Structure 1
């Protein structure tokens, strides 16, 4: 999204300039006494200053009073943000703590006597403007459900959903309010007082440094003025927000809050005791996966035996934890352990002495060639060369099965991913959910789980009443069958356009949905057809992505018959309590969690109700170890509410877990779209294929099947770009880097595989090559560097499953590719004169290719034999 200042603002206020500070992926969850202390300190300082003078006597305040006056606003009734802080400081009023970022913004507002306002970037809808309002834009005040329409000519921050800050900086809205859950934010610093540009830049630098120091994350600052009046904020934000339409869940929360505040003054009515509250959510139970089949697990057994033999009478197994690591430097062994440091404290010995005793007490094992104790007390293990040579043979024997584990054997795990809405196109956020979810499904299957893939479709709701009306009025069956999702979306958009001119259409849509719910055969048949043709269309796009699989397509409608029993159970056990005007909600102990509405006052249910029913159905039907929801970070609160609410039911055992991921950002800015502000998944695939085919043609003009190879390389590049990055951070799309044949990219790994296969083909085609090359100095080291790394594929696989992070597989494959390319560039393979060495090295090439292929398949990426 982009933020811009309308030129009319500069024309009306020539002295105006502003700072924009973007803060991404920061931690605002903790209460920081140091930050709070800064704010309290400067507040006291300003309180003393204004104890002896009036606010409007201050030059900085007077400037903004004039600004407000020029707009026809009484500056004594409508105070700018920083003036309100000065007023509170003067009156020695305490300001309620909200969050660390909020305190920092208040601190700098008081320090510089300038408006400094913070907004949650993830809740901004579309592009944001500082402009004069047209009139009629909705504004919802912070901590309220009351909505007012702006008057014409107000100066405010306006996006597609309404006004997020009114009268410049005086009134903040509820939607973009900073909370402890905020992870991406923007600070606006406004100046009308002709502060010199250098001084203003220093102010911004101080704010930027303080944010980095206290909150972390990535921080960027910009100065906007006449010549530079816009900045790309690099976040997609929300779609289709409308501040004039408050969700029932939020209304219930604010009504509950109001009633609780009123009842606090009436001792007879204790609002907190009137309802059963669900306790705060518990920490998630992690997957318990045994590492017994891994090399690190076998070495852990050796270490435990050594510890117990050396110190059986002095320590208990519960006193220490053995962690086996992989050293970065091969000179420190293939594996290492620092358990001696833990035991040294218990035994009152030096780590070196403890480590030596453990080493001397360990049993002899054919897995390990030698064990060394480093000077600091680390125990380093070097794998036996014969074991490594045998491991190459194991890879070639097991082929596609190599690396697979049984850690999750006889257990089921559900992965829900993609989850689009019927009759709407797949967006870029569905790309992330689909790619990450499918990879996790593959990884969990590979460690032994019976992984079940579910596509939870949005196929229920009042929007289908609108779609039914639109189809009956303007729809053509052949057009829908030819291009289902695009045509249904076009009908839906046409309905909204028509409803703006004829509001009676909304009543007609409500009627159609009502009779649909009651079982009207015509509407039911239409709805069923909409769902079927949409799923067919979705499958076509999934096929283009390749390697996307679902065991079940289950929409929200699937759970409708289960809702009555769920609501009855929840009401009987006191989890669902009556709230505003007959609505039923779940109340929470956690003050940062608003009530979860499960039934509206008219008896209608919500998607939260259907999510609860889905949980129960899945637990009853599949009895899974875990149910993973691969959904973007914006839904964090919903899942926290959901999993906390369900703790009130006896049938729940902590199965649910939200596997969140960040937003997608394009390095080159927004991607062009055919319509609207949604980046479509098929647009990304189209762009990737086009760019990849161009790269393939440039690199290898004689290659056969350029289009097919280009498709695999392009799609692989997109998937790898997602899966090579930590899913919890925003994912940056950089086309040039994605499609590079060098560095950490999908094409680089595919090229490494193709290179290995080319070597193997040549060995079959020409036999001995002649022009033999003698072995260099470090042939043994380069060879071992590859061979000793092959069995560590299983280590990466198990850790990726435990942490639900496919990027750990990507990291392994990139490391393996670098080791292999170093091996091939320095070790004669086809040109080795010694036949025995040549054959052994060809087996290493073949084994490496096989592990590369197995790893890429876990990521859902196909290999190509030639590039």
Structure 2
């Protein structure tokens, strides 16, 4: 185990590197984006004309007008009306009049429709400036400086050692990595922490199973699979032999007390596991800065319990001697130390959060853990705040639904857990079948590389395309659909655009200034209008911890591109200025698709 001083030094060095990298970053300022300029101008006029508070004005949000509404944009004022204590109808009328008297630079006219304020753009100006902006920023488009100088500590994946990474840990890994990328895009420095499940009573069970049935030849040949089988066998045998549970608990207590022969065995299990984990993470494109597990904090449980007692936050049960806590507020009473003096998961979590805050002083701590642990986190974070370990609201549990197999949750002890390695291999194989069918001229190396990108992307996107709180299952037909609703669809859209650009006899100039981009069709204006919202979508995804907002946006953008592609000529456009504008437009769309998929940790191939 790491000594605490060594662990602190390790975190200090990681945090210093993150800060150095942040100081070198070339941030895009949010207020420089065109949509932010338009929004700010509207808010300033309304605030000055009507005298409403800055808070109310800041809650006015510009959105794309629905298809049935006249106007290019719509001003959503419902939250502003609540804050200012006015009816939406009255506030909308006042806002409409104020904007008509002092029309913002990019607006042609204002139209009032009950509680709605519809905005009509000066389309030529808006198109030119929005495309200029996207071309100038390229793949940095969507980033911002909103959280520059802040540090986020993100705990995710956190598999249990001595088991293969199962699909059950897939969601934490995928959602966590996406949030790491999204937080970084809004300016945060991010510390990526894999908090290994490497301590607890389950290791007493595994050690007991190893001592009873362990086969060294099998362990040497396939260590993780054999350790998993031993763990599953323990639970099956314990159903008819309940004394095994007591014996496993005794081993667990001896391990916690530092029995050398048990610690040596535990360390062996851990080393074998981490080596296996890293191979799987490499396939997913996931990396971590820190691998400190629960075991680093196992020895501090009794000190935590004593502090809780000294501060009279917890009490010792007079009958059993166990330490219990009652936070009130509808949170059930819970244990923090057993009657035999052994620590619980929550005491290790308390020691860990105290360490994190003291070692790195993060501005926010995210715990990417399944929603079934919601009560545990209400107890843990509530107690951490009462103890003064972390400021109120600074640590957040980011929950998510489960992955179902035939409608049921998977488990290791029941032997129903699908291994992540198996799932990845299956997805790549299915992708290869489709890729070879669509493009039989690919050589073997090309087919392998494209299938890997598409197969891994399919798994990731299947998770991130919907709200993280929903349960998910695997539907290969939908996951690998090239027509809609999949990573393959977005990857194919990107590849199609790159193919068009390669076929063009002249490349898009990429000029960001001094070039009068023009458009002809409604579909190309709609495409640029959608593009300008990307920075807001990224920021909203970060603020709400909803990666699916990025996925939804990308699908809508791709649909708009395909509408434009099906009705407009690009390469064969006779008007040179229009052709140049369209080539730059689709190049900007490709950059956004690549950037957005990158935020979700999905790569794009060169061809498909």
Same fold (TM over 0.5): yes
How much has 1:625 moved relative to structure 2?
A: 2.2
2:575 & 2:451 partners in 1: Cα distance? 39
Question: Once structures 1 and 2 are overlaid, which stretch shifts more, 390-399 or 403-412?
Answer: 390-399
Q: Measured at CA, do residues 569 and 761 of structure 1 come closer, stay the same or move farther in structure 2, by a change above 3 Å?
A: same
SS of residue in 2 equivalent to 1:627: strand
Relative distance call for 1:480 and 1:345 in structure 2 (3 A) is: closer
Matches within 5 A, 1:372-383: 372-376=110-114, 378-382=117-121
Whole-angstrom CA distance in 2 between matches of 1:348 and 1:804 = 29
Shift of 1:399: 3.1
The structural deviation recorded for 1:572 is 0.6
1:800 aligned to 509, 525, 541, which one? 541
1:565 to 299, 303, 308: 303
1:604 and 2:345 equivalent?
Answer: no
Q: CA deviation at 1:372?
A: 1.9
For the residue of structure 1 that corresponds to 2:354, the secondary structure is: helix
Match of 2:583 in 1: 842
8 A contact 2:100–2:109 mirrored in 1: no
- The answer on whether the counterparts of 2:371 and 2:401 sit within 8 Å (CA) in structure 1 is yes
The reply to whether residue 684 of structure 1 matches residue 423 of structure 2 is yes
Aligned to 1:456: 195
1:758 aligns with 2:499: yes
Asked if the contact 2:156–2:194 (Cα under 8 Å) also holds between the matched residues in 1, the reply is yes
SS in 1 for 2:415: coil
SS of residue paired to 1:486: helix
What is aligned with 2:155?
416
Which of residues 58, 62, 65 is equivalent to 1:325? 62
TM-score, length of structure 2 as denominator length:
0.84
- Aligned-pair RMSD on alpha carbons? 3.3
What does residue 94 of structure 2 align with?
A: 354
- Give per-residue Cα distances to partners, 1:263-301, cap 9 Å, x unaligned: xxxxxxxxxxxxxxxxxxxxxxxxxxx964554543332
Unaligned runs of 5+ in 1: 1-289, 768-777
Q: Distance in 2 between matches of 1:665 and 1:689?
A: 21
Q: Cα distance 1:834–1:668, how it changes in 2: closer, same or farther (>3 A)?
A: farther
Q: Which residue of 2 aligns with 1:114?
A: none
Does the aligned pair in 2 maintain the 1:306–1:360 contact within 8 Å? no
Q: Structure 2: where are the runs of 5+ without partners?
A: 1-28, 509-518
| Counterpart Cα distance in 2 of 1:542 and 1:479 | 25
Give the deviation of 1:693 after TM superposition.
1.6
Question: Which SS does the other structure have where 1:551 is aligned?
Answer: coil
Bigger RCO (CA 8 Å, 6+ sep): 2
Higher mean C-alpha deviation, range 462-471 or range 843-852: 462-471
Aligned equivalents of 1:761, 1:517: Cα separation in 2: 63
- TM-aligned CA deviation for residue 464 of structure 1: 2.5
Is 2:164–2:273's contact at 8 Å kept on the other side of the alignment? no
More helix by share: 2
Q: Which residue of 1 aligns with 2:9?
A: none
Q: How big is the shift at 1:671? A: 9.8
1:209-262 residue CA offsets vs partner (Å, 9 max, x unmatched): xxxxxxxxxxxxxxxxxxxxxxxxxxxxxxxxxxxxxxxxxxxxxxxxxxxxxx
Match of 2:43 in 1: 304
Q: Is the 8 A contact 2:527 2:561 kept in 1?
A: yes
Cross-structure match for 1:556: 294
Deviation at 1:433, TM superposition (A): 1.4
Q: Distance in 2 between matches of 1:566 and 1:702?
A: 64
Question: Which residue of 352, 356, 372 corresponds with 1:618?
Answer: 356
- 1:423-455: per-residue Cα shift (whole Å, max 9, x none)? 122222211111111111111111111122211
Deviates more, 1:487-496 or 1:441-450: 487-496
Q: Is the 8 A contact 2:159 2:196 kept in 1?
A: yes
Change (3 A) 1:612 1:675: closer
- How far apart in 2 are the matches of 1:651 and 1:610? 13
Structure index of larger Rg:
1
Instruction: Please point out which of 371, 389, 403 is paired with 2:128.
Output: 389
Secondary structure in structure 2 of the residue aligned to 1:788: helix
Structure 1 pair 341–554 and aligned structure 2 pair: CA distance change class (3 A)? closer
Note if contact 1:305-1:362 (Cα within 8 Å) is conserved in structure 2. no
| Partner-residue secondary structure (3-state), 2:365 | strand
Q: Secondary structure at the match of 2:397?
A: strand
Aligned residue number for residue 708 of structure 1: 449
Q: State the 1:352 CA deviation.
A: 6.6
Q: Offset at 1:334? A: 3.5
Q: Judge conservation of contact 1:627–1:657 (CA < 8 Å) in 2.
A: yes
Deviates more, 1:559-568 or 1:788-797: 559-568
Q: 1:481 to 1:455 in 2, by over 3 A?
A: farther
1:614 Cα deviation after fit: 1.5
- 1:811 is aligned, of 525, 542, 552, to 552
Using the size of structure 1 for normalisation, the TM-score is: 0.60
Residue 388 of structure 1: how far off its partner (Å)? 3.6
Q: 1 or 2, which has the higher strand percentage?
A: 1
2: CA distance, partners of 1:517 / 1:721: 40
**558-567 or 819-828, larger mean C-alpha shift:** 558-567
Q: Which residue of 2 aligns with 1:157?
A: none
Residue 238 of structure 1: aligned partner: none
**Corresponding residue for 2:381?**
643
Map 1:357-372 → 2, pairs under 5 A: 357-362=97-102, 364-365=104-105, 368-372=106-110
The answer to whether residue 463 in structure 2 is matched with residue 726 in structure 1 is no
